[in-house]
């Protein structure tokens, strides 16, 4: 970059990347943190229905199980063109060897002791007839005791916490590592993946000497430091056992010390929210608008939901974690276009989440995007998503 003109000069370079994947997928296990929650119980029931071909009755007739909404199972990739120059698409799961969901062994932890069948009924997500058909098998599945620090999730979750690991944080870490090893050995698995699908936590402090390096983080765990969150403890346990860790909630689980430890142990970690609803739409739409040279001036997002996630998010600290996650997708796009946004300029961005118990798991999301277009014109896009 030339300091005087501010222009960049590019020098052509050639870099060769080599990607390697194992051709033998092996036997894979998935351990979910928060297995008895809405996500965990629904995924487990749905995989069981797909694996055994369990259909159920609806008002419109018989419904067969499927994996719609799965990037791996229900999407395709353009492979190229054939001899007639027609596009050729193949299932995403056939590009490289992948584990089929039906073959994955499922287990996990939860702070509540309900079996997965009762947890599924409590979640009220799946149709009643499907619940009835899978209940007996799910009732045999029980979550392992989990880690509960009241300071990190909303106080309204305390009544659920009856299935806990005791001891110091170091003892809890050792317990979780043993759980992963035992699960792997008991099921003859080649690999275990750990996924956080539990409640959103408040943000943990990040500080020098606390969790800024791998060694400092491990020492903080040994010392029982109060700012080591449950999700970070699970991430560390996974890394030390060579198990990839996926964070499905918007808290800052992957503090610098976790990242450094993962690099040191050559273990994959990733994720800062599943972003499957309003946040995902926002990331796609904000990118589209800014890349099209359209300038969002105001983004207003409203949500209400009645499940346990909504109950937890009704607490200010947990809501703040979600607010940061939703805001970050807009921040990234604003920073990518200095032609639309001057330094320090940012669209108005308002986020509201309300807990409405009667709505249950059927979340409502409403968004309004007001953008500046050609010659000072305004464009408004309104969305309703349920």
336 pLDDT above the threshold of 80: yes
Residue 21 has a pLDDT of 81
Cβ-contact 125, 55 below 8 angstroms: no
If you average pLDDT over residues 96-111, what whole number do you get? 96
pLDDT band at 321 (very low <50, low <70, confident <90, very high): low
Helix (H, G, I), strand (E, B) or coil at 230: helix
The encoded tokens of residue 263 equal 């690099």
Nearest to 144 by CA among 115, 108, 118: 108
How many Cα atoms are found within 13 Å in the side-chain-facing hemisphere of 92?
11
Q: Tokens 């276009």 belong to which residue?
A: 337
d(CA 155, CA 159): 9
Residues 6+ apart with CB under 8 A from 123: 37, 38, 41, 42, 307, 361
Rounded to 5 degrees, what are φ and ψ at 57? -95, 140
**Chain segment 40-72, per-residue pLDDT in tens:** 999 999 999 999 999 999 999 999 999 999 999
pLDDT higher than threshold 90 for residue 191: yes
Cβ neighbours for 309, distance < 8 A, ≥ 6 positions apart: 37, 38, 199, 200
Residue 3 pLDDT:
84
Given this model, what pLDDT does residue 204 score? 93
For residues 302-326, one letter each, b for 16 or more C-beta atoms within 10 angstroms of the residue's C-beta and e for the rest, the string is: bbbbbbbbbbbbbbeebbbbbbbbb
What is the pLDDT, as a whole number, of residue 278?
A: 73
Residue 110's nearest CA partner among 242, 257, 234, 271 is: 234
User: What is the sign, positive or negative, of the torsion defined by CA atoms of 219, 222, 226, 232?
Assistant: positive
The CA distance from 377 to 94, in Å, is 47
> What pLDDT does residue 76 have?
97
More confident residue, 4 or 244: 244
Report the pLDDT value the prediction gives residue 87, as an integer from 0 to 100.
97
- pLDDT recorded at residue 109: 98
pLDDT for 324 equals: 64
Which pLDDT score is estimated for 94? 92
pLDDT value of residue 315:
67
Average pLDDT over residues 106-124: 97
Segments in 161-302 forming alpha helices (H): 169-186, 214-222, 230-240, 256-265, 278-291
Average model confidence (pLDDT) across the chain: 92
Q: Which tops the pLDDT comparison, 328 or 68? A: 68
Give all strands of the β-sheet with 28-33 in edge-to-edge order: 105-109, 28-33, 191-196, 245-247, 269-270
Concatenated DSSP letters of 116-137 = HHHHHHHHT-S-HHHHHHHHHH
As a whole number of Å, the CA-based R_g of the chain is: 23
**pLDDT at residue 323 above 70?**
no
Q: Please say whether the beta carbons of 78 and 89 come within 8 A.
A: yes
- Give the model's pLDDT for residue 363: 80
The rounded distance, in Å, linking the Cα atoms of 109 and 111 is: 7
168-193 average pLDDT score: 98
User: What is the Cα–Cα distance from 241 to 329, expressed in whole angstroms?
Assistant: 32
Calculate what percentage of the chain has a pLDDT beyond 70. Answer: 94
For residues 75 and 94, what is the distance between their CA atoms, to the nearest angstrom? 11
State the pLDDT at residue 39. 93
Average pLDDT over residues 139-149: 97
Tell me what pLDDT residue 23 has.
Answer: 85
Helix (H) or strand (E) holding 352: strand 348-355
- Per-residue pLDDT, averaged over 221-241, amounts to 97
Q: Which range among 13-27, 139-153, 273-287, 337-351 has the greatest average pLDDT?
A: 139-153
Q: Dig out the tokens for 379 from the structure.
A: 């464009």
The pLDDT of residue 269: 97
Q: What pLDDT, on the 0 to 100 scale, is given for residue 28?
A: 97
DSSP string, 284-337: HHHHHHHHTT-EEEEEEEEEEE-SHHHHHHTSHHHHHHHHHHHHHHHHHHHHT-
pLDDT of residue 291: 93
pLDDT over threshold 80, residue 312? no
Question: What pLDDT score does 100 carry?
Answer: 96
Q: Which of 4-8, 194-198, 378-382 has the lowest mean pLDDT?
A: 4-8
């Amino acid at each position: 970059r030339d300091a005087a003109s501010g222009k960049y000069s590019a020098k052509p370079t050639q870099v060769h990347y080599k990607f390697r994947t194992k051709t033998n997928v092996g036997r894979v296990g998935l351990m979910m943190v928060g297995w008895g929650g809405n996500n965990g119980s629904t995924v487990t029931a749905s995989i069981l229905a797909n694996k055994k071909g369990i259909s159920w009755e609806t008002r419109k007739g018989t419904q067969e199980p499927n994996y719609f909404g799965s990037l791996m199972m229900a999407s395709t990739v353009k492979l190229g063109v054939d001899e007639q120059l027609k596009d050729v698409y193949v299932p995403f799961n056939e590009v490289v060897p992948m584990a089929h969901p039906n073959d994955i062994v499922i287990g996990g932890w939860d702070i509540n002791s309900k079996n997965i069948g009762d947890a599924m009924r409590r979640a009220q997500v799946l149709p009643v007839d499907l619940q009835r058909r899978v209940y007996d098998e799910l009732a045999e599945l029980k979550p392992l005791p989990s880690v509960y620090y009241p300071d990190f999730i909303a106080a309204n979750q305390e009544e659920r916490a009856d299935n806990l690991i005791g001891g110091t944080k170091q003892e809890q870490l050792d317990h979780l590592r043993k759980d992963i090893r035992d699960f792997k050995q008991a099921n003859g698995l080649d690999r275990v993946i750990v996924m956080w699908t539990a409640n959103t936590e408040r943000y943990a402090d990040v500080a020098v000497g606390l969790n800024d390096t791998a060694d400092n983080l491990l020492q903080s765990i040994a010392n029982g430091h109060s700012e080591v969150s449950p999700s970070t403890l699970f991430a560390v346990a996974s890394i030390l056992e060579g198990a990839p860790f996926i964070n499905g909630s918007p808290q800052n689980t992957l503090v610098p010390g976790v990242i450094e430890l993962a690099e040191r142990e050559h273990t994959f970690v990733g994720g800062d929210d599943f972003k499957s609803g309003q946040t995902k739409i926002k990331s796609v739409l904000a990118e589209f608008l800014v890349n099209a040279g359209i300038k969002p001036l105001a983004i207003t997002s409203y949500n209400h939901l009645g499940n346990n996630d909504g109950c937890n998010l009704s607490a200010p600290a947990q809501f703040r974690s979600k607010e940061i996650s939703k805001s970050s997708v807009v921040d990234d796009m604003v920073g990518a276009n200095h032609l639309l946004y001057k330094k320090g300029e940012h669209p108005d961005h308002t986020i509201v989440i309300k807990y409405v118990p009667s709505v249950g798991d059927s979340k409502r999301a409403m968004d309004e995007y007001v953008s500046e277009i050609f010659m000072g014109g305004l464009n408004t896009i309104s969305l309703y998503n349920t």
